[in-house]
């Protein structure tokens, strides 16, 4: 027996804005999930063989380094072109590890780190 990963959940201040950012990163649809008393949004559709990215409003700000992060790899452009596209969307550069390891660490608009891998 096993379990499938349904959601990768981000605590955040603005679920809709962060979902829009990640929707643009991945090209997946943004789905707002209205539930009384909760502000939530998702990116991706369940049942497509991959987990959704799920965003839930919390009152406290992000503190410290992520214990889990996403790695993204461009489908149809160079790593440099993808980094430029992501920063135009609102990501910020954290660390360039290309010389020794090959990836660049960026942060989404709420400070969650993620890596851009080479093609």
Q: What is the pLDDT of residues 20-52, one digit of tens each?
A: 999 999 999 999 867 777 789 999 987 777 899
CA distance 98 to 102: 4
Tell the residue number behind the tokens 């063989």, with chain if given: 49
- Please state the domain extents for the chain: 1-59, 68-119
Q: What pLDDT digit, counting tens, does each position of 76-102 carry?
A: 999 999 999 999 999 999 999 998 999
pLDDT given for residue 1 in this prediction: 80
Note whether 1-59 and 68-119 share their fold.
yes
Helix (H/G/I), strand (E/B), else coil: 116? strand
Assign domain 68-119 to its CATH superfamily: 2,3-Dihydroxybiphenyl 1,2-Dioxygenase, domain 1 (3.10.180.10)
Whether 57 contacts 18, CB under 8 Å: no
Which DSSP state fits 94?
A: E
| CATH architecture entry for 1-59 | Roll (3.10)
CA dihedral 26, 58, 113, 86 (to 10 degrees): 40
């Amino acid at each position: 027996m096993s379990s499938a990963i349904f959601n990768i959940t981000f605590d955040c201040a603005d679920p809709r804005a962060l979902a829009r950012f990640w929707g643009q990163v991945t090209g997946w649809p943004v789905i707002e999930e209205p539930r009384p008393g909760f502000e939530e949004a998702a990116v991706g559709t369940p049942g497509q063989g991959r987990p959704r990215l799920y965003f839930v409003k919390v009152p406290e700000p992000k503190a410290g380094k992520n214990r889990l992060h996403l790695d993204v790899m461009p489908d149809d452009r160079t790593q440099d072109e993808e980094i430029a596209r992501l920063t135009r969307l609102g990501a910020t550069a954290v660390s360039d590890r290309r010389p020794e390891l090959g990836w660049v660490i960026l942060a989404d608009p709420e400070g969650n780190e993620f890596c851009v891998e080479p093609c």
